[in-house]
């Protein structure tokens, strides 16, 4: 099975890579939500975060931090939005983290959906118990 994301990484090696080492590559997103939006990916094909070994995940997070720091310094970003979406809403089958530089009035809205609320303290307790027991 060919990974389209691996093909994209290869294509981006023509000039949009901002950082690369033996385990990771960071490059500009072709469809940024804010200019300077970067994708950080493992060089090895890994489908999603739950399939990623701890060492590779640690290496990815080190690069995510480097990218976030450089966005703040080089782009004068006030902060960063860092996210990973797998399976739901993911257009490619390869683990990747979005690192988006954020500033007040940058025009980006992370969600058009309103925040939900738990119906009760009992419902919150239920989720705490099932998640706490599973971790």
Q: How many residues does the chain have?
A: 135
**Prediction pTM value:** 0.83
Asked if pLDDT for residue 13 goes beyond 60, the answer is no
Is the four-CA dihedral 31, 57, 21, 36 of positive or negative sign? positive
Per-residue DSSP letter, 112: S
Task: Please report the pLDDT score of residue 65 as a whole number.
Answer: 98
């Amino acid at each position: 099975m060919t990974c389209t994301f691996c093909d994209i990484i290869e294509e981006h090696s023509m000039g949009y890579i901002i950082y690369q080492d033996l385990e990771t590559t960071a490059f500009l997103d072709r469809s940024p939500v804010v200019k300077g939006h970067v994708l950080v990916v493992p060089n090895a094909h890994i489908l999603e975060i739950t399939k990623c070994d701890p060492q590779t995940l640690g290496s990815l997070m080190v690069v995510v931090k480097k990218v976030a720091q450089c966005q703040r310094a080089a782009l004068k970003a006030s902060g960063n939005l860092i996210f990973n979406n797998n399976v739901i809403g993911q257009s490619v089958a390869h683990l990747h983290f979005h690192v988006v530089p954020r500033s007040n009035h940058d025009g980006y809205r992370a969600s058009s959906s309103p925040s939900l609320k738990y119906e009760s303290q009992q419902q919150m307790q239920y989720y705490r118990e099932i998640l706490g027991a599973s971790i």
